[in-house]
Amino acid sequence: MSQIYPSLLSADFSKLREEIEAIEKAGADGLHLDIMDGHFVPNITFGAPVVAKLRPHTKLFFDCHLMVSEPDHLIESFALAGAQCITIHQEATKHLHRSLQRIRDAGCKAGVALNPATPLETLEHVLDDLDLILCMTVNPGFGGQKLIPAALRKAGNLVDLLKQAGLKDKILVQIDGGVDARTAPEASRLGVDILVAGNAVFGEKDYAVAMRALRS
Ligand code: DX5
Ligand code: ZN
């Protein structure tokens, strides 16, 4: 069964600590933190100092998704702030292999995100250097968008390819964007390990009920 990582992007930013405590109590498997730089994507969210302030208030796994151009110089500060997985975009770094090494050297799991139009083949030569592949199921930058079916099919293809290569136990497959009670069952059926969900969790009154709906 897939794990559910609520995306903090859809939480109430005026009370992030309470939101995180509530989501942990409701049974989240991890917390997805969206970092946007206003350059790689149009929006700006928050940086490592905010992550560091939130870190003592939860035991949840911190999964930081960096939607940032040339993210290398930020990797150590997010690791120090308490990130446990750092995911960078394939499209945002010139030297992907080096960036991934830098994430692992900082003591974090290394993830790569692919925009909906970016082919899986771009990761063929870095499979030994990553722990997670995030197939974006919307174009990054905003919560509350509709899932792109072709991007979900790509995640399914990735699961199959990893199985064939004997790497399914080593590399996690994650999707992000447009995950709701209607789209989650198909993603689960395809073998996606982690479903990131913003609006489908934080948009509901009862977070535990919302997560149960995603799991069922
Ligand atoms: C989009 C972010 C997502 C976003 C998902 O750029 O990376 O994590 O919060 O939000 P929903 O689940 O509402 O599509
Ligand atoms: Zn995200």
- 194 close to 6: Cβ distance less than 8 angstroms: no
**DSSP-derived secondary structure for 14-27:** GGHHHHHHHHHHTT
Residue ranges of domains in the chain, CATH in brackets: 3-215 (3.20.20.70)
Ligand 1 geometric centre to CA of 159 (Å): 21
Q: pLDDT tens-digit profile of 91-139? A: 999 999 999 999 999 999 999 999 999 999 999 999 999 999 999 999 9
> Which of 62, 114, 138 has most ligand 1 atoms within 8 Å of its beta carbon, as the pocket-test mutant?
138
pLDDT tens digits, residue range 14-42? 999 999 999 999 999 999 999 999 999 99
Instruction: Tell me whether residue 180 is one of the annotated catalytic residues.
Output: no
Residue 125 in tokens: 């030569």
Answer whether 197 contacts ligand 1 (Cβ < 6 A): yes
Candidates 37, 63, 176, 193; catalytic one: 176
Whether 37 is catalytic is no
CA-wise closest residue to 157 among 111, 112, 121 = 121
| Rg over CA atoms, the chain | 16
The confidence band for 216, taking pLDDT boundaries of 50, 70 and 90, is confident
Q: What pLDDT sits at residue 183? A: 98
Q: How far is the CA of 113 from the centre of ligand 1 (A)?
A: 13
CB atoms under 10 Å from CB of 28, counted, come to 23
Contact indicator for 64, 35 with CB cutoff of 8 Å: yes
pLDDT-based confidence at residue 54 (cuts at 50, 70, 90): very high
Q: Is the CB of 37 under 6 A from ligand 1?
A: no
Site to substitute for ligand 1 among 89, 199, 202, most atoms within 8 A of C-beta: 199
